[in-house]
Structure 1
Amino acid sequence: MSRREAKSVTATLPAGVDAPVFAEPWQAEAFAMTVALHDKGLFSWSEWADALSAEVRKPGVASDGHDYYEHWLAALENLLSAKGVAGKGDVDSLAAAWERAAHSTPHGKPILLDNDPGPTEGRGGPTG
């Protein structure tokens, strides 16, 4: 969302609401995944609070909070790993597959994991 679009959305919000809760769609998705995984019993809210607190207390956290959902996502990934659901390598591999799929998808078309051409290392990809 551009700043112009954000200002437009902010201008139409109900009285008392200063800005959208999520700056980017992925933030809302990370939030929703966390709630869904809690609802399925993967972790308790106290476990979640501990994981998120550990992330936001790390050095280098932005004082204005603009990186809050990056820490949210890191906390979720750490819980997935700690619970044996998905290790860091699994999460990183899947994220890389989605990235490749996004780059392989024509503009205006839905990004689907099926569009992932696979890793290019050792296959004579664009760099040879």
Structure 2
Amino acid sequence: MSPRLPDVPGLPRDEDGPVFREPWEAQAFAMTVKLHEAGAFTWPEWATTLAAEIEAAVRRGDPDTGETYYLHWLAALERIVIEKRIASHDILARRRHAWERAAARTPHGSPIVLRPEDEP
């Protein structure tokens, strides 16, 4: 991770840094940081995209209690990679469906592993 990323309002954190309730939240956070470090987007671009996703969710009725923060983070990540043409909407949709297929065949509590047959 960068030596010091600018603060992101609403980011669930403790004295040691960001906190995550689920592994996917940490993965989405790490992907965002890595893309930023690679120069895919600036941190102000990221913050603007995330803020827009949170504002849209609040307008749709999200109570903004923090429980859905990383859902907004993921939506912002998907939005910015599409806007920056890092991935297309179609590629993201295919990957989402592959994960859904993999999750459906995986017993509860076991790690989800993508297999070639999961890809459309």
| TM-score over 0.5 for the pair | yes
Q: Which has the higher contact order (CA 8 A, sep 6+)?
A: 2
Report the CA distance shift for 1:110/1:68 in structure 2 as closer, same or farther (over 3 A).
closer
Q: How does 1:72-111 map to 2 (within 5 A)?
A: 72-105=73-106, 110-111=111-112
Are the counterparts in 1 of residues 20 and 26 from structure 2 also a CA contact under 8 Å?
Answer: yes
Report the CA distance shift for 1:80/1:117 in structure 2 as closer, same or farther (over 3 A).
closer
Higher radius of gyration, 1 or 2 = 1
Are 2:61 and 1:63 aligned? Answer: no
1:54 to 19, 29, 52: 52
The separation in 1 between residues aligned to 2:27 and 2:118, in whole angstroms, is 24
Cα offset, 1:38, TM superposition: 0.5
Superposition RMSD in Å? 2.3
- What does the per-residue CA deviation read over 1:34-78, in whole Å, with 9 as the maximum and x for residues that have no partner? 001111110000100110010111112323121111000000000
Pairs aligned (count): 102
Q: Secondary structure at the match of 1:113?
A: coil
Cα offset, 1:106, TM superposition: 5.0
Unaligned runs of 5+ in 1: 1-15, 120-128
Unaligned runs of 5+ in 2: 1-13
- TM-score when scaled to structure 2? 0.73
